[in-house]
Structure 1
Amino acid sequence: MGLLDKLFGRDTPSQEIVGKVDKEGPRNPIDQLGVTGRSQRNAAYEDTAHIPRITDYVAEKLSQLLRYSTEMPVLRLTEDDSPAQITDSKLGGAFYVPEGMKAPRNLDTGNPLYLLAQLNFSQLPQLRGFPAQGLLQFFIDGEDTLYGADYDNPQSQRSWRVRYLPNVPVTALHANRVVKPAWHDDTVLPFNDPDTERRLVAQAGKQTITPTDYRFEGRLQSCVSTLNEYDHGFFREHEAEIRDSLAALLMSGGHQVGGYPIFTQSDPHDDRDPLWNKATDLLLQIDSTNDVSFGDSGVANFFISPSDLERLDFSRVLYTWDCY
């Protein structure tokens, strides 16, 4: 396999995976008709009465091929109704500032930044490549309709910030170490309420590549190449319908750490920008819910390179969000 194949996900599912899906995967509805010979089988695939069932079958088969060949660990984060403590994994609210460190501010305007989210890794299931302890805080600008995002320089942390605190206090915090910037009439944040503060609870799982991920197309075509001639031909003939069914099967949003991101517009990695191509690990995704909304039902993503994550260097994180 070439380097580009590894980078952009064009490696073909192994014969073991193909065999597993053939054996345990969805049953071809044409096989249930008792057709024999090529001419009868071709006619059955072309019969409009069978198209919806074959469409679902091919989509399900491709989704299983993609699942077995691309699934990776993910931490799903859900909002919990129980009160959030200052060092809990959470959305919004007040935040802890260690002794000798100042609360983050916009480097151009001097305005205070607001806590979007924080992760207490000692509360989370261990995720390979991520720290086992420490507090990771994500701050955004509350005086900017873009919530601090800089699409020309997504790595610039001038109007947003990611801060890693390796040591999380376990005793009561002094009041001057707890900060919560005040809301003003012109404050613009993705939270629906100034008092939004929701504890985040994590559950470990596996995730299949999402249809909006920049690697999806290469992976999909690799899976299509393993189909038999009838299914392959049907895919080419009814590709749009199968893609719609496949998207419904694979699209999975929500707050998460690791795994594959979702986008409402397009994955910035598609631009083949060297800056983006290094930052392949999803550090945090915040999706729109009843409590938080980026624009019109948008989603925010923070990315980091595997080498920076290993070194716990969060100075080159990339931040982006998009909406409908």
Structure 2
Amino acid sequence: MGYAEALDALVEAAPPGSGVRSLLRPCAAGLVSEDTERTGVLRRRTPVAPPVTGSYVGGHPFLPDDAEWPRDPDEWPMHFVLQVAFADVPALPGFPREGLLQMFVRDDSTHGLTFDDTAGTRGLLCRWYDAAALARPVEVTSTTPVFTSDDSPLADPQHPVALEFTSIWSLPLGWENLADDVAAAPEAFAALEELLETREDLVEALEQAVAEHGRWSGVHVGGWPSFVQGAPDVPAYGSSQLLVGMAGGLFEWGDVGNAHLFGDPEALAAGDVSRLWWEWAS
């Protein structure tokens, strides 16, 4: 059974009128390139370097000739996590149709995440390049910094993994959900919670479909977050819209954890990354 069939079986098992189907959100799932090979149980690499303006995890980011490698407030170089070329992403409501989003995080034991009232707003740097910037020729002269921290890099800085995107639908299947989302459809979320508890067989079938796919990267654009611990608080200025979800063996989010980048996709399309926020947990 494939992913789409397994998801449909789960939704069909919900009582009529429960509202579970209304929770389906369009999503673009990142698949590792067909050229990608395994270098270990989880690690992968794409032998043929992806286009510098393409979508990939790890490796060396697109950097225009006048751009410096991002540094944190202490002037230490930050880790490059991934970049998403929206021209590669199937159309999603409200999301950009072109442009490049990059994500960097701080080089420390928590990957820059803080746990006070600044949580989600520190340790992160995102860059946005519009189509005009991507069209200009770039000579790759800068190199990836050598990190001195004992902490493992989030993504392999030497070997990028190229991504291809495909359209899917998703449900909120995480441990918890954002309070704003639940408040918008409390009956539907309650019905989904009961469904997940009573039809574990269908949940396992969905998880198995993902595991057996073979090219599932754990990266997805849009859709729902899947929190492995408690749901975070949305910053006062922030949007609860998920931009990018990141999980799986391409990353080192603690012990089999995952991460989420949130923000207003329409603001992103306009080049505004000032209100993006994030979380990760394991």
Would you say the 8 A contact 1:183–1:194 is kept in 2?
no
Aligned to 1:78: 31
Counterpart pick for 1:318 among 271, 277, 281: 277
Q: How does 1:47-62 map to 2 (within 5 A)?
A: 60-62=13-15
Aligned to 2:198: 242
Aligned to 1:280: 240
Q: C-alpha distance in 1, partners of 2:72/2:256?
A: 26
CA deviation after TM superposition for structure 1 residue 249, in Å: 6.8
Counterpart pick for 1:308 among 255, 259, 267: 267
Would you say the 8 A contact 1:93–1:196 is kept in 2?
yes
Q: How does 1:93-112 map to 2 (within 5 A)?
A: 93-107=59-73, 109-112=74-77
Deviations 1:218-247 (A, max 9, x none): 74634768xxxxxxxxx7xxx994275675
Aligned to 1:297: 256
Would you say the 8 A contact 2:23–2:188 is kept in 1?
no
Q: Given residue 66 of structure 2, which amino acid in structure 1 is its aligned partner?
A: G
TM-score using structure 1 length: 0.65
Q: Which consecutive residues of structure 1, in runs of 5 or more, have no partner in the other structure?
A: 1-24, 27-55, 226-234
Counterpart pick for 1:156 among 121, 125, 143: 121
Q: C-alpha distance in 1, partners of 2:82/2:197?
A: 38
Q: Does 1:255 align with 2:219?
A: yes
Q: Given residue 105 of structure 1, which amino acid in structure 2 is its aligned partner?
A: R
CA deviation after TM superposition for structure 1 residue 76, in Å: 0.4
Would you say the 8 A contact 1:66–1:220 is kept in 2?
no
Query: Which shifted more, 59-68 or 298-307?
Result: 59-68
Q: 1:115 to 1:313 in 2, by over 3 A?
A: same
In terms of fraction of residues, the more helix-rich structure is: 1
Task: Tell me the secondary structure at the aligned position of residue 169 of structure 1.
Answer: helix
Q: Does 1:165 align with 2:125?
A: no
- Structure 1 runs (4+) deviating above 4 angstroms are 62-67, 216-220, 222-225, 243-253
Query: Which shifted more, 303-312 or 88-97?
Result: 303-312
CA deviation after TM superposition for structure 1 residue 117, in Å: 0.4
Task: Tell me the secondary structure at the aligned position of residue 236 of structure 2.
Answer: helix
Q: 1:66 to 1:117 in 2, by over 3 A?
A: farther
Task: Tell me the secondary structure at the aligned position of residue 198 of structure 2.
Answer: helix
Would you say the 8 A contact 1:286–1:299 is kept in 2?
yes
Aligned to 2:43: none
Q: Does 1:139 align with 2:104?
A: yes
Q: Given residue 79 of structure 1, which amino acid in structure 2 is its aligned partner?
A: V
State the structure with bigger RCO (CA 8 A, min sep 6), 1 or 2: 2
Q: Given residue 236 of structure 2, which amino acid in structure 1 is its aligned partner?
A: L
Q: Given residue 83 of structure 2, which amino acid in structure 1 is its aligned partner?
A: Q
Q: 1:67 to 1:204 in 2, by over 3 A?
A: farther
Q: C-alpha distance in 1, partners of 2:56/2:17?
A: 34
Q: Does 1:69 align with 2:22?
A: yes
Aligned to 2:40: none
Aligned to 1:14: none
Q: C-alpha distance in 1, partners of 2:60/2:133?
A: 15
Aligned to 1:197: 160
CA deviation after TM superposition for structure 1 residue 123, in Å: 1.9
Q: Given residue 132 of structure 1, which amino acid in structure 2 is its aligned partner?
A: R
CA deviation after TM superposition for structure 1 residue 128, in Å: 1.8
TM-score using structure 2 length: 0.73
Q: 1:134 to 1:70 in 2, by over 3 A?
A: same
CA deviation after TM superposition for structure 1 residue 262, in Å: 0.2
Deviations 1:273-295 (A, max 9, x none): 5527x411111111022x32210
Q: 1:148 to 1:322 in 2, by over 3 A?
A: same
Task: Tell me the secondary structure at the aligned position of residue 87 of structure 2.
Answer: helix
Q: Does 1:207 align with 2:179?
A: no
Would you say the 8 A contact 1:115–1:138 is kept in 2?
yes
Aligned to 2:54: 88
Would you say the 8 A contact 2:113–2:120 is kept in 1?
no
Q: Given residue 205 of structure 1, which amino acid in structure 2 is its aligned partner?
A: I
Q: C-alpha distance in 2, partners of 1:320/1:151?
A: 10
Q: Given residue 61 of structure 1, which amino acid in structure 2 is its aligned partner?
A: A
Q: Given residue 161 of structure 2, which amino acid in structure 1 is its aligned partner?
A: R
CA deviation after TM superposition for structure 1 residue 156, in Å: 3.1
- Structure with the greater alpha carbon radius of gyration: 1
Task: Tell me the secondary structure at the aligned position of residue 31 of structure 2.
Answer: strand
Q: C-alpha distance in 2, partners of 1:250/1:103?
A: 40
CA RMSD of aligned residues (A): 3.4
Task: Tell me the secondary structure at the aligned position of residue 154 of structure 1.
Answer: coil
CA deviation after TM superposition for structure 1 residue 99, in Å: 3.5
